[in-house]
């Protein structure tokens, strides 16, 4: 029986949330080796240990990376160990929201952090990873977007703008990288219960919990399973754009808190 081809996957922001869930799901599939990066290296090392309990044979390389720092991204990716110099899959997962204020009351620091992470970070990483995909037989980029990239909701202003930019960049990558045979996909979730709301509300856990009260949101695992599905399609099939919502959510702001799952 022919052994499956093991593909190398780089996941940004893999220390928590959807990125962490993707690492666990892909490791369990036993067809991937993992390049895991984030700012919190201690969490990555703990995640690697957890993964090896699931799949002791999974190859993992963890490294610290702040995607907002262009020089750090270039230096770190260009100096990956030689055995990790071919990357088959890039999952641009690193992203966040800060604040939920009317545009005239928004904090410039919040705006900068969202723009630097969600847009510029995605660009920096993609620019330096694409050259490492040249030897891959199945190169694929997955960009994690959001329902906020499909509509604009009250007080979402700059976060929605950054995710609209991700939507546009996903389409642009699909066009610009077509000649290189690189598949490009976007996965755009609605409400996912991770650290997202806690980060948005600057650590206010009670306010964060209220976002998901009386409904069943998506989980990181839900999204990770979709990522695995997208990656498992044959090479001639590309899922360009996928929008996934909890059953209780119709739009960015319209939810039914009476649905009992």
Three-state secondary structure readout of the chain: CCCCCCEEEEECCCCCHHHHHHHHHHHHHCCEEEEEEECCHHHHHHHHHHHHHHCCCCCEEEEECCCCCHHHHHHHHHCCCHHHCCCCEEEECCCCCCCCCCHHHCCHHHHHHHHHHHHHHHHHHHHHHHHHHCCCCCCEEEEECCHHHCCCCCCCHHHHHHHHHHHHHHHHHHHHCHHHCCEEEEEEECCECCCHHHHHCCCCHHHHHHHCCCCCCECHHHHHHHHHHHHHCCCCCCCCEEEECCCCECCCCCECCCCCC
Catalytic residue, chosen from 159, 171, 183, 209, is 159
Q: Which of 32, 120, 124, 163 is catalytic?
A: 163
Distance in angstroms (rounded) separating the CA atoms of residues 37 and 95: 13
Catalytic residue list contains 235: no
64 is catalytic: no
Question: What angle do the packed helices 157-176 and 122-129 form, to 10 degrees?
Answer: 20
Residues known to be catalytic: 159, 163
């Amino acid at each position: 029986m022919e052994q499956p081809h093991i593909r190398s996957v780089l996941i940004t922001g893999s220390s928590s949330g959807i990125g962490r869930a993707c690492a666990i799901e892909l490791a369990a599939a036993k067809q991937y080796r993992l390049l895991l990066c984030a700012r919190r290296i201690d969490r990555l090392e703990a995640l690697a240990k957890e993964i090896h309990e699931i799949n002791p044979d999974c190859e993992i390389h963890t490294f610290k990376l702040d995607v907002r720092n262009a020089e750090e991204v270039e230096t770190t990716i260009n100096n990956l160990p030689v055995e990790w110099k071919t990357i088959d899959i890039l999952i641009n997962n690193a992203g966040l929201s800060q604040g939920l204020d009317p545009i005239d009351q928004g904090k410039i620091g919040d705006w900068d952090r969202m723009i630097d992470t969600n847009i510029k970070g995605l660009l920096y990483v993609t620019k330096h990873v694409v050259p490492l995909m040249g030897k891959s037989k199945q190169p694929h980029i997955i960009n994690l977007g959001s329902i906020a990239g499909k509509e604009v909701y009250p007080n979402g202003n700059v976060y929605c703008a950054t995710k609209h930019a991700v939507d546009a960049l996903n389409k642009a990558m699909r066009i610009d990288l077509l000649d290189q045979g690189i598949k490009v996909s976007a996965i755009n979730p609605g409400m996912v219960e991770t650290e997202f709301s806690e980060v948005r509300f600057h650590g206010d856990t009670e306010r964060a919990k209220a976002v998901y009260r009386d409904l069943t949101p998506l989980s990181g695992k839900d999204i990770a399973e979709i990522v695995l599905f997208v990656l498992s399609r044959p090479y001639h099939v590309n899922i360009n754009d996928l929008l996934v919502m909890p059953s209780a959510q119709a739009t960015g702001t319209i939810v039914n808190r009476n649905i009992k799952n």
